[in-house]
Amino acid sequence: MTMPHQTTRVIRVSYDALRGAFAGRVDVDRAGRIYRYPCEVAAPADADPAWVHRALTARALAMSDSRPH
């Protein structure tokens, strides 16, 4: 089975110092359908931005129920 075309985009990342976490919305576009996920990852405020985006994206994909079965 082939995987449908998929892209992701991380939007509006912010840091909550009280929670010690980054939060943002991740849009997952699968073959023209967009699924939106609010995500959060615990990390220090000076965490590498590329790592934060990868971690948020991984959370969104883990929450997604639109994966082919």
Parallel, antiparallel or unpaired: strands 21-30 and 6-16: antiparallel
pLDDT score, position 40: 97
Q: What is the pLDDT of residues 44-55, one digit of tens each?
A: 999 999 999 999
At residue 5, the pLDDT reads: 79
pTM: 0.83
50-61: string of b/e by CB count within 10 Å (b at 16+)? eebbebbbebbb
Q: How many CB atoms lie within 10 A of CB 28?
A: 20
Q: What residues does each domain of the chain span? A: 6-63
Ranges in the chain, pLDDT < 50: 1-2, 69
